[in-house]
Amino acid sequence: MRLVPKKNSRPIYLSKSDVVIKVLQNLSEGSLILDANDHPIYISDEVQSYGLLINQKLINQELSALIRVVRRTGASQRGKIEQAISTIGGQTRELTINIFSIPSDDENQDLIVILISDESEAQRVHEVRRDFVANISHELKTPIGALSLLSEAVLGAKDDQEAVTKFATRMQIEAKRLTDLVQEIIQLSRVQDSDPLNNPQILIASSIIKEALDQARTTADARRITLSFDSSVDGQILGDHEQLTMSVHNLIENAVNYSPENTRVSVTTSVQNNVLNIAVADQGIGIPEREHERIFERFYRVDPARSRETGGTGLGLSIVKHIINKHGGEINIWSVENVGSTFTIRLPLVAATDSGEGSK
């Protein structure tokens, strides 16, 4: 392709692939360009995250079949394919595919362009955001309404110093509750909108756990709760350092808040079938079995009265579940009332072939 930018200047020559790549880089869809031998000459970050290629070779048979049709007929193809996600649970996602060829002077050198979008993920995000806004509207009303009523009470009792102190103390509690709620809403929003496996780091599990324990130590000391960590088993995991630390910290903080004084919260690790287990166990009040399925829902509280006492927002466990699912893992619970609870994060270990990359 010959481009002439202005009069009396030398012509600029661009290959067809260069032009196509420039266009694709400005599209919101994931994109992939294959040469005549089906070798990729351009892969967008989105396509990379879908896991369609291993060692620069397509592994999805449905996609390969559609590409063969385009090469044979020259007609573009649209459709949907299923692609397995690299998770412990073996989930799949439905991808919308648009494939077409770009003719070359030599028909044996035609390029294949593939546009890919994850509409199921887009629909899921839309539904999550819709429900999220509805839940936020409801949850914010409580502390805001309480602050409004308490401020009126302070004005009405301005000549009673004892009453003013009482109401002002309650206002501080509600203000902190509101601050914590807004902070966790921001955290959950960030987790839901990000994909930590787009640009992951190789992380040492013990380092993440130790950092999370340090963050929870002040709260634990105030409640006279001992924190312990058995680091005899370690491993490398792939993901976002901040998010994974947040998930472990939330579990530890939750265990501390729902445990009586002078008890222990312990963190242990184990490895089974190339999966790292991080277990956070407490000696707290426990969770009824009927509640196990719901405790990871946004704003759900097993014991609303205890949540108000501890300042719980009902978002901590939801944040943990979102983070772990985004990292291709899962979270399980074992709990017996008046005995305690154990939350176990399960994450895939980094394959031995990846261990040469940088770590944090």
pLDDT at 161: 86
DSSP 119-179: HHHHHHHHHHHHHHHHHHHHHHHHHHHHHHHHHHHHHHTTT-HHHHHHHHHHHHHHHHHHH
Alpha-carbon distance of 36 to 41, in angstroms, equals: 10
pLDDT at 357: 43
Domains of the chain: 2-117 (3.30.450.20), 119-193 (1.10.287.130), 196-360 (3.30.565.10)
pLDDT at 3: 40
Whether 119 contacts 29, CB under 8 Å? no
Quote the tokens at residue 51.
Answer: 């896991």
- How many CB atoms lie under 10 A from the CB of residue 296? 19
**Residue 31 CB-density burial (10 A; 0-12 exposed, 13-18 middle, 19+ buried):** buried
CA neighbor of 344 nearest in space, from 324, 328, 326, 327: 324
Between the alpha carbon of residue 133 and those of residues 16, 59, 119, 136, the distances in Å are 45, 39, 21, 5
Between the alpha carbon of residue 312 and those of residues 9, 16, 251, 257, 350, the distances in Å are 68, 58, 12, 8, 34
- How many CB atoms lie under 10 A from the CB of residue 248? 26
Whether 323 contacts 244, CB under 8 Å? yes
Q: What value, to the nearest 5°, has the Cα angle with vertex 320 and ends 123 and 351? A: 90
Q: What value, to the nearest 5°, has the Cα angle with vertex 215 and ends 211 and 221? A: 125
Whether 292 contacts 343, CB under 8 Å? no
Q: 3-class DSSP state for residue 212? A: helix
Instruction: List, in sequence order, the alpha helices (H) in the chain.
Output: 16-24, 45-50, 61-73, 119-156, 161-193, 205-222, 241-257, 304-310, 316-326
- pLDDT averaged per 10 residues, the chain (length 360): 45 55 70 87 81 83 90 89 67 82 72 83 64 63 79 84 86 79 72 71 94 92 93 90 92 90 94 94 88 76 51 71 89 90 93 46
Could you tell me if residue 160 is left (phi over 0), alpha (psi between -120 and 50 degrees) or otherwise beta?
beta
pLDDT at 120: 66
Alpha-carbon distance of 160 to 167, in angstroms, equals: 11
Q: What value, to the nearest 5°, has the Cα angle with vertex 214 and ends 143 and 187? A: 40
Whether pTM exceeds 0.85: no
pLDDT at 334: 93
Quote the tokens at residue 335.
Answer: 């709990």
Alpha-carbon distance of 283 to 266, in angstroms, equals: 9
Between the alpha carbon of residue 278 and those of residues 99, 234, 239, 270, the distances in Å are 43, 10, 15, 7
